[in-house]
């Protein structure tokens, strides 16, 4: 642009980059002006001649860092996938993050600065500044389902509580106890448990189903 001034006038030019850009250099009358680059302003006092200002803008590079934590703050050594994979990104670039699956842990959510972003996996982020995204994991949950065969033959307690289903953290050990009804006797456990003892312990490495036979 061009500004016309009366001789002796003063003027200050304010340099405002668009989002995602920075001032790379400012040339005033073909001389590099470091002060103008740093301040974003060019001042002419008591103008008595023509002046030329040339400004060069450069895109800002933004960093995307990822972390993986358990829900109690312990770090995990999982690698978060990102697409596209780059060292840095520019303004309004989108990046798809993918949290890996694991046998012992389950993905819970994405967080940034302690604030939940999404429970979706994969999740796409938009780069408008440096960002640190955390993938939060919890211990994998497993479901134990128990049945009685025949249903009128008796009942089963799980850790002393009568129930036909429970959900616990992976690795939890549960005590199963079969109680026969009148005119029935306990025969044994089948499916994901075995043996003929009325009481048995099962360790939850995955979802399991157990039948108490009477």
pLDDT category at 48 given cuts 50, 70, 90 is confident
Tell me, what's the pLDDT at 100? 97
How sure is the predictor about 2, in pLDDT bands with cuts at 50, 70 and 90? confident
Average of per-residue pLDDT across 177-194 = 96
Please report the pLDDT score of residue 162 as a whole number.
Answer: 85
| Proportion of the chain in helix, strand, coil states, percent, rounded to 5 | 5, 55, 45
Kindly report the number of other CB atoms within 10 A of residue 125's CB atom. 20
Task: Provide the pLDDT for residue 46.
Answer: 87
User: Does pLDDT of 163 surpass 90?
Assistant: no
Question: With bands split at pLDDT 50, 70 and 90, how would you rate the model's confidence at 152?
Answer: very high
Mean pLDDT of 114-118: 96
Domain ranges of the chain: 11-59, 64-139, 141-213
Residue 157, pLDDT above cutoff 80: yes
Say if residue 177's pLDDT is above 90: yes
If you average pLDDT over residues 64-82, what whole number do you get? 95
| Banded pLDDT at 4 (limits 50, 70, 90) | confident
User: What is the C-alpha separation between 127 and 120, in angstroms, rounded?
Assistant: 18
Q: How much is the pLDDT for 168?
A: 93
> What pLDDT shows up at residue 33?
94
CB 159 within 8 Å of CB 173: no
Checking if the pLDDT of 5 tops 80, the result is no
Residue 107: per-residue pLDDT = 96
Tell me what pLDDT residue 98 has: 98
Q: Angle CA(179)–CA(206)–CA(204) in degrees, nearest 5?
A: 45
Condensed to tens digits (0 to 9), the pLDDT of residues 118-142 reads 999 999 999 999 999 999 999 999 9
pLDDT at residue 180 tops 90: yes
**Mean of the per-residue pLDDT values of the chain:** 95
Rounded to the nearest 10°, the torsion over CA 178, 175, 137, 76 is -140
């Amino acid at each position: 642009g061009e500004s016309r001034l009366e001789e002796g006038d003063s003027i200050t030019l304010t340099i405002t980059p668009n989002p995602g850009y920075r001032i790379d250099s400012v040339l005033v009358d073909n001389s590099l002006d470091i002060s103008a680059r740093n301040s974003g302003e060019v001042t002419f006092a008591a103008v008595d001649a023509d002046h030329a200002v040339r400004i060069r803008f450069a895109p800002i590079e933004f960093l995307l860092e990822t972390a993986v934590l358990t829900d109690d703050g312990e770090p995990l050594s999982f690698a978060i996938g990102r697409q596209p994979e780059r060292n840095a990104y520019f303004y309004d670039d989108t990046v798809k993050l993918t949290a890996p699956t694991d046998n012992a842990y389950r993905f819970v959510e994405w967080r940034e600065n302690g604030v939940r972003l999404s429970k979706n996996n994969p999740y796409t982020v938009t780069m408008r500044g440096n960002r640190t995204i955390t993938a939060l994991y919890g211990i994998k949950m497993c479901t134990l389902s128990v049945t009685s065969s025949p249903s009128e033959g008796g009942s089963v307690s799980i850790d002393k509580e009568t129930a036909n289903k429970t959900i616990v953290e992976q690795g939890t050990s549960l005590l199963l106890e079969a109680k026969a009804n009148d005119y029935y006797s306990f025969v044994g456990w089948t499916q994901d448990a075995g043996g003929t003892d009325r009481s048995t312990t099962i360790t939850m490495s995955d979802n399991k189903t157990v039948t108490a036979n009477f």
